[in-house]
Structure 1
């Protein structure tokens, strides 16, 4: 037994150190895992921002610096105003067709006598219909007692309002006590003989004048475009930005005159702007950038839309105002409080999507964990990356 003691002790020692070794190895593995996790774990969150509309109404003073002699200013824009006066006349056949029922309505009635005596009725005897239309007999008749006589009638007043259907007529001149015994009846409606006519209504005249003004404006714009190309070939002529002042406009008819054609005439003064389109749009774009809400930017490589018009132009002084609206799409920037990384630490993918889904500025969310077995965002801010994708903007 004494001979085996060293071997037994050696075995116990080996087992003791083996436990220590495996404990150390286990601790090392855990430590390395933590080191690897904190060193290589990363989450990339890609956000698709939702583009929102922004519109800026502006009024930009414009002047010809060579004329005004004013020094350059950030509050004014340099431009040149060209003006021309044109006149002309046009004949229009766009008139309104009418059925003229100005004639008096006519018809035929039976005069019925249920009285004990015959009743003579002279021509133009008044007959009042139950509808209130007054007619007169066309001839003299005598209606025998217990009999009836047919007679033509004509309305007392012209117009379609006097037409009545089959109805009962009271003979106005008779004593009221026998009006229910001697009366007239019609079996068919009265009628008018109409004729077709054409008139120039107020709307017809206004439409013709508008057509003439539009044609004169095109003529003036063509003249100004030629002048601009000769005088200022290095600048842009804004054919879509014109100020039109009507000097006079007349028509040779009055509203509702019966005509088949009529003539309108007008004289207008048209003013146009000549300047650099690139510099102008760049200037308005700068104004739009300034108007953006905090932590917002213009979306993508879009081309904002501009709607310009001239106001208060004085061609002689070469001053005026370019007013209008600039419209574009905007999205949030990475500086937006919504996108702070501390808000999405130690969350799983669904929690990340839920968080960003609470904000209308975000259209879609994609979450990518690394390494692949990681299922939550890191607890360290530096290991979370948020990327804003480029939204597609339809022009």
Structure 2
């Protein structure tokens, strides 16, 4: 069969050479267009989400704050400054450890009572006999007023523990029997000193006693100094005690079983509005942050203050105020710069970020799921910083 006959039989004309070229070009164009469309779709939907859990870091600041009744400038906060002087005295008994036993004459205070209409003079060494049968003598001469009473010191007639008796009642054997029921003595405190434990008094013993009195003065004066302050408003306070005088009847190196000490201190109390002071120091707290970090919490309840200086004439004081809180990395940190993460795999992102002590944990997710690396377009990268734990 000839070619002419074949073409006639099929009813089709053979494509020209140029048409075949156009046909192939069209197919290539369609394929390229599809590939470009897929690429555009890929780029438009590809996304990396990086979730960061930061480590919280303690941040603290200590700042001076001036408290005054009439604040005029920055750095000054309204408040009140009060001062007063207090004195306490006490007898301190030394511990028995390491001491030697020494007998003495027990002694103490008794109250002489006269129920008659006449004064009753008594000479020194007048005997007073306890109802237990222990004899004591007056240290000094005295006169008991009619229908009155007087306190005097007495000591046991004999050395030893027999004189260490508790509170009791005494008769005065030297008076007529008829007078002994209306002129008599009583004691409220026990007699002590019949047996003493004596050791060398040290400077530390005296310092510890003074410290105990100072602490008691400070504790008691807080209420006294605050009596005119509205503590519902001025709810912050700071105190200090300055030693004015210390007097003792015993020197370091001497032997004794007890010693007397008198302690005088000037106590200053500063009262302020806690919230206002905290806000002022909080500004300095922010200055302690590293670049790219932010404050996540402030511990205002933990604010601490101490008195640095006092101006009694101006009724002002400078406080040293401590405030702390917690800071953490923020989304604006250079560590989370997207340029540093482009093209990295999930594991590379995690290892890069967790190399910093500021970051506790990192997770990475890709869209679509088969994506293996962070997209090159920064607006397709989402970085989320969760709250610090």
Does the pair score TM above 0.5? Answer: yes
| Map of 1:303 onto structure 2 | 299
Distance of 1:218 and 1:10 partners within structure 2? 118
Q: Find 2:372's aligned residue among 370, 375, 384.
A: 375
- The answer to whether structure 1 residue 59 and structure 2 residue 64 are counterparts is yes
1:218 maps to 2:219: yes
Aligned to 1:346: 343
Q: Distance in 1 between matches of 2:270 and 2:373?
A: 61
- Distance in 1 separating the partners of 2:79 and 2:92: 39
CA separation in 2, counterparts of 1:237 and 1:87? 27
The runs of 4+ residues in structure 1 deviating greater than 4 Å are 8-25
For 1:339-393, what per-residue CA distance to the aligned partner results, in whole angstroms no more than 9, with x for missing partners?
211111111111212322333322222111112111111110110111222111x
Report what 1:128 is aligned to. Answer: none
Query: Once superposed, what is the RMSD of the aligned Cα atoms?
Result: 3.0
Aligned residue among 357, 376, 391 for 2:388: 391
Structure 1 length-normalised TM: 0.65
What is the alpha-carbon distance in structure 1 between the residues aligned to residue 14 and residue 98 of structure 2?
Answer: 127
Q: What do the CA deviations read for 1:130-175 (whole angstroms, capped 9, x no partner)?
A: xxxxxxxxxxxxxxxxxxxxxxxxxxxxxxxxxxxxxxxxxxxxxx
- The verdict on how the C-alpha distance between 1:383 and 1:79 changes in structure 2, with shifts beyond 3 A counting, is same
Say yes or no: does 1:83 pair with 2:83.
yes
Q: 1:98 to 1:233 in 2, by over 3 A?
A: closer
In the superposition, relative to structure 1, how do residues 45 and 94 fare at CA in structure 2: closer, same or farther (>3 Å)? farther
Note the C-alpha offset of 1:82: 2.0
C-alpha distance in 2, partners of 1:335/1:96?
68
Instruction: Give 1:317 shift.
Output: 1.6
- Contact 1:238-1:274 at 8 Å conserved across structures: yes
Shift of 1:216: 0.8
SS at match of 1:311: strand
The aligned residue for residue 289 of structure 1 is: 286
TM-score for the superposition, normalised by structure 2 = 0.66
Aligned to 1:221, the other structure's residue is in SS state: helix
Q: Aligned runs of 1:96-245 on 2, under 5 Å?
A: 97-98=97-98, 197-228=198-229, 232-239=230-237, 241-245=238-242
Displacement of 1:212 in angstroms is 1.0
Return closer, same or farther for 1:238/1:272 CA change in 2, 3 Å cut-off. farther
CA contact (8 A) 1:95 1:200 kept: no
What SS is found at the alignment partner of 2:205? helix
| Alignment check: 8 A CA contact 1:63 1:80 kept | yes
Q: Could you say what secondary structure the match of 1:301 adopts? A: strand
- State the alpha-carbon separation in 2 of the partners of residues 32 and 387 from structure 1: 30
Q: Are the structure 2 counterparts of residues 318 and 12 from structure 1 closer, same or farther at C-alpha, using a change threshold of 3 Å?
A: same
Distance in 2, Cα, partners of 1:74 & 1:38: 55
Distance in 2 (CA, whole Å) between partners of 1:81 and 1:74 is: 19
Contact 1:95–1:201 under 8 Å retained in 2? no
Contact 1:96 1:199 in 2 (8 A): no
Any conservation in 1 of the 2:55–2:358 contact (CA below 8 Å)? yes
Q: CA deviation at 1:246?
A: 1.5
Task: Provide structure 2 residue ranges, at least 5 long, that are not aligned to the other structure.
Answer: 102-195
Q: Determine helix, strand or coil for the equivalent of 1:97.
A: coil
Q: Residues 94 and 32 from structure 1, CA distance in 2 versus in 1: closer, same or farther, beyond 3 angstroms?
A: farther
Q: Take 1:287 and 1:360, find their aligned partners in 2: how far apart are those partners?
A: 23
Distance 1:93 1:11, change over 3 A: farther
CA displacement, residues 278-316 of structure 1 (integer Å, 9 cap, x when unaligned): 111111112222343433221x23425433111211233
